[in-house]
Amino acid sequence: MTVQVYHGLEAVDPPMRGVTLTFGNFDGVHLGHQQILAQAGMLAERDGSSVVAVTFDPHPLKLIAPQRPLRFLTTLDERIRLLAQAGADAVVVVDTTQGFLEQSPEQFVADVVAARFAPAHVVEGPSWRFGRGREGDVAMLQRLGDKYGFEVYVVPGWRLEIDASGPVLVTSTLIRDLLGKRHVHRASLCLGRPYCLVGEVVRGNQRGRKLGFPTANLDVGDLLIPGEGIYAGWCSVGEEQHVAAISIGRNPTFGEGHLTVEAHLLDFDEDIYDRTVKVSLLRHIRDQQRFDSPDALVRQMGKDIQQVREVCRAAE
């Protein structure tokens, strides 16, 4: 899987011609995004062209609403990897600036879509908006496509039945909501894979090691942290994957107060400080709770680990 990555529109020089193009934040690269890439791939294969995914960094909301605390489903590197996995031959990362966001829809299509890419096709979801104030929609894009010589394909939103309430539209917002409610399994159905936290292992207070359960404390940056609780999952260290019991919480037994993400890797005892690891969350095991003593916590942790083993064994 090889993907060409361009950092900045100015890196697209000379301009591309005849490609199949799609724009989006693509946060999470969920099943809806994957359907857009699949449609783009079919068009590109028919024409003998390539699929180009254009994404934005930083996220436009960081400029539009800087007061809002933003958490994301993927890092930029992971987003690029997932876009390539979904079928993108090239990924262009636009440096999002205020000036870029203030372009009119017509200016965006003329100066970016037509001038930089001259695509044969543009593939988008029905809710995609572009230009200043999100004034442009897919109907406007289709009209401008007639003017500049590209076809627009609108891929219907992807609906999925994740519970008994019936099919729901898969969106990044839905996935964030599911993760906040600890429904990591339902979120994984929308993503097409387990939700992952990627981060550097940093030094904690060593409390887990003192209790006989050493943990890797992760600094996950701007990634969205699911609701507090104990989870079953995997932790990938380099090319190796280990069963892991993951704790997201504030260590209520010891009253520490600050939110941490900690992974206890089963049958593993190596120094991985300062290394970047990936934690994949499979199931919520239980809520966080305060125990009367460290011994009571240790007994519960033993039960948790047995349940984690069972969940991961069933997922293999």
For residue 294, pLDDT beyond 70: yes
Residue-wise pLDDT for 176-187, tens only, equals 999 999 999 999
Q: Which residues are the active-site residues? A: 262
pLDDT score recorded for residue 208: 65
Q: What is the mean pLDDT of the chain?
A: 94
pLDDT score recorded for residue 68: 83
Domains of the chain plus CATH, in order, are 4-157 (3.40.50.620), 194-315 (2.40.30.30)
Question: Can you tell me the mean pLDDT for 15-33?
Answer: 97
Least confident of 94-108, 253-267, 278-292: 253-267
pLDDT score recorded for residue 284: 98
For residue 251, pLDDT beyond 90: no
Question: Can you tell me the mean pLDDT for 14-37?
Answer: 97
For residue 25, pLDDT beyond 90: yes
pLDDT higher for 307 or 316? 307
pLDDT score recorded for residue 255: 61
Residue-wise pLDDT for 253-272, tens only, equals 666 678 999 999 999 988 89
Could you give the percent of the chain with pLDDT greater than 70?
A: 97
Question: Can you tell me the mean pLDDT for 160-188?
Answer: 95
For residue 128, pLDDT beyond 70: yes
pLDDT score recorded for residue 253: 64
Residue-wise pLDDT for 192-243, tens only, equals 999 999 999 998 776 666 677 889 999 999 999 999 999 999 999 999 999 9
Are the CB atoms for 29 and 156 separated by under 8 Å?
no
